[in-house]
Structure formats: C-alpha cells, structure tokens
A and B are shown apart, each in its own frame.
Chain A
Amino acid sequence: MSATYNFERISLLITDPSKYMRSLLVGLARSFGFRTIYEAADGQSAITLMRERHIDIIVTDGPMTPMDGYEFAKHIRNSPETPNPFLPVIMVSAHTEVTQVKRARDVGVTEFLAKPISAKTLLVRFCSVIDNQRAFVRSSKFIGPDRRRHTDQAFQGQERRGVPQPAQESPPHPDGLTPGGALSQDEIKALLTDDGKEAAA
C-alpha cells in the first residue's frame, strides 16, 4: 500500500518575486492538500509575516529584492528573532550556477529544487523534508542541516535521469542541453550532501 500524506495541518510560506510563479506554487500546494499557505514577494516581507504567523515549511526563491532568499535563509538559521531556526527551507530557483547553489548550501537551506519544476519534483521535496528530517549542525561558522544524509526514501518512482517523461509530468529540463556553469538537479543534490566535513569545520 502506498504511503499517504495529510498536509492539512502543515502551514507553508511561499516566497517568490514573480506573482505568476507564486500563483503556480500556491496552486500546486493546494492540490497536494496544504490548507494554510502564506505568500511573500521577498525575504524581508517574509520575515515580517513570520512575526505574526506560524510557519512549518518555507519555500523560497533565491534572487529577490530587497532581501534575497540566501539572506532570508541565513536569517532563519542565525537570527535571535527567528521563530524556529530548524524550519525546513526549500529553495526553488532558476539560478543554478554553482556559486549560487554553494551559497544556498552554506546558509543552511534544506533542499534545493531547480526551476523549471514539475508537480512531482516539488511534491518529492515536501515529502523529503517531512520524512527525512535532517540532523542539525551548529558550529562557530555554520548552522544548518547536516549534509551527511541517506537516500531520499520519499521518492518511490523511477529516477528521472535518462528516463524519457511525458512533457506535462516532467518538463524537459534545460540542464544537459546547454553547456555552461549551471548545475543539473543531480549535481545540486550531490553538492548539498557532501561528507559533512565542510559543515563541521
């Protein structure tokens, strides 16, 4: 029997500068069963909102103004006024250049999902932060999820790499099609889950 998830009692904060993208993410979250969903257009607005609302999971873009998603995640992990430094932070960003992904890792994001997204890739990230809650590391230089983790148990389907998928289910991803500095989702996962030595150093 397949595992089931009930997201009705889990609150979500979606932070993205694009109204259209927020609308998509909110629509997807509602279709998954989330009932309490808040929206913000940048990190500063999100922090303001979090002073008044209880949030369980954060979904944030990277590039935003005036406060970007990296500073926002850093605030969540380090600020004395953060309501919960252990909140799962899922960064959903189209800027997948290696320095940006490393930056996301170093400020303590829990998961990084490369845009363009599909319903399945987003859902898998939600299930992952719920099923595979990571231990936390706190040192003088880093606070965030322990990068030493195991295989994603939430994903029960076939791995996407190398497997043709219907366009609607999993849109053709540009990674691998265009040479350049951007990372594929597999490379991002590898970068976020190194052996932990850097995290503890």
Chain B
Amino acid sequence: MANSDETKKADGEVAKAGVFTPPNLLKIRASAPGGKTMDEMVKAGMAVISTQAKNYADVANADVAEIAGIAAAMRQAPDKADEFRPELMRVGLNLKGQAATMGYPLVTEVAHSLIDFLDDMKKANRRLADDPKTALPAVQFHVEALRLLMAKDVKGRGGPTERALIDGLKSIVAKALPEMAG
C-alpha cells in the first residue's frame, strides 16, 4: 500500500516522499509449524558460543601478534604511520567485536579504547604522524595491555591488577588527546 507525504524543506521547496509497506512474506513463512521459542533458540545459541569459545584464545593471540606487528611497523617509520591505520583499525575491530562474546571482556575494552582513540584523532583532524611522540606510545600501550591480558589468559572482569591496567590506559588516552589538540 503506497501513499505520498509532502515534506516542506527549509528553503520552501516541497519534496515528495512515497511511503509504502511491502507484503510481509517472511512473517508468514516464519509462522510455519515446527518452530522454536526464543528461549529455546537462545539456549541453543549459547551452546554454539561456548563451543566456539574453546578455540578463541588462538584467534585472539594471532590478532594480538598482528596488531603488535603493525604497531612495530609504525614505530619504525613514524612519518608513514597513517598508512598502517586501516590495518590497525581492522584488527582492533576484530578484537573489540569478538573477545567479549568469547569470554574476554577486558580485551574488548582495551580494543574499544584503541578504536575510540583512533576515531577521536580522526575527528580532531590529527594524523598519527603529526604527534608521533604522543600518539604512537598511546597505541603501543594498548598493544602491551592486549599482550598482557592474553598472556595471562584473563577471562571475565579480571582482578585489581587488570582494573589498574585499564584505568592506566584510560589516563594515558585522556592525557594524550588534549596534548595532541595543543
């Protein structure tokens, strides 16, 4: 069923927008007999996650090794550090997006902090090469935190040592961004 809304734009021009609802065939198919309840499906899904989590440490260690290699390449050529940014983001997003699901929420937290740091730099129009003495150590601190968490196989929320590590990381990032902003 279609209809048409007229929307007045700021400059007075009237734009036509069609609004319509396609038939919901998926709902008809999903209501076929033999379905499962949401509780049953969530339980089955949690079992899948538990099984897959058994080999996550190997995946995470490979990602951490890769991100350490990227950071090392940045340090070796600080003026070209931004060329490595997309790779750093890619691996960082992998760690952020997978670790907590697999029982490593602190790894997700550190990767999240790294991604936020890179995003904040971009929003401030700062390149990594503009502030190598501040930006690259901040990146390296994240790498070391990831290495430590995986070396100790820290699952769950960790203990006081791990919390201190995260707090220290936050302090470094909070200090680095204003310094780079001048």
Binding site for B on A (CB under 8 A): 2-10, 17-18, 20-21, 23-24, 27-28, 30-33, 56-57, 63, 86, 88, 93-95, 97, 115-120, 122-124, 127, 129-131, 133, 135-142, 146, 154, 156-157, 167-169, 171-174, 177-182, 197, 199-201
Contacts and interface: CB of A to CB of B under 8 A. Distances in A.
A167 B103 contact: yes
Given A5-B36, A171-B100, A200-B7, A123 B45 contact: yes
Interface string B140-153: 00000000000000
Nearest to A138: B18
A41 B167 CA distance: 36
A95 B101 contact: no
23 contacts: A3-B37, A5-B31, A6-B31, A6-B32, A18-B97, A20-B98, A30-B48, A31-B48, A57-B26, A94-B97, A94-B115, A95-B89, A116-B108, A127-B38, A135-B20, A137-B17, A137-B18, A138-B17, A139-B7, A167-B156, A178-B112, A180-B119, A182-B112
A180 B113 contact: yes
Contacts of B15: 139-141, 200-201
B21 A136 contact: yes
Given A24-B48, A119-B48, A177-B109, A94 B123 contact: no
Interface residues of B, number: 64
A145 to B, nearest CB: 11
Contacts of B31: 5-6
Given A116-B108, A167-B156, 13 more contacts: A7-B35, A18-B97, A27-B48, A56-B26, A93-B93, A95-B115, A97-B116, A117-B97, A119-B46, A120-B42, A127-B38, A130-B27, A137-B18
B22 interface: yes
Nearest to B48: A27
B32 A8 contact: yes
A132 B152 CA distance: 45
Contact of A122 (B34, B45, B98): B45
Given A4-B35, A133-B26, A168-B46, A139 B101 contact: no
Contact of B38 (A23, A31, A123, A179): A123
B41 interface: yes
B77 interface: no
A181 B123 contact: yes
B27 A172 contact: no
Contact of A115 (B39, B98, B157): B98
Contacts of A94: 93-94, 96-97, 115
B96 A174 contact: yes
A149 B16 CA distance: 20
Nearest to A182: B116
B29 interface: yes
A135 B50 CA distance: 37
A169 B103 CA distance: 10
Interface string B159-171: 0000000000010
Name which of B56, B89, B119 has the most chain A CB atoms within 10 A of its CB.
B119
Nearest to A84: B22
Contacts of A93: 93, 97
A171 B103 contact: yes
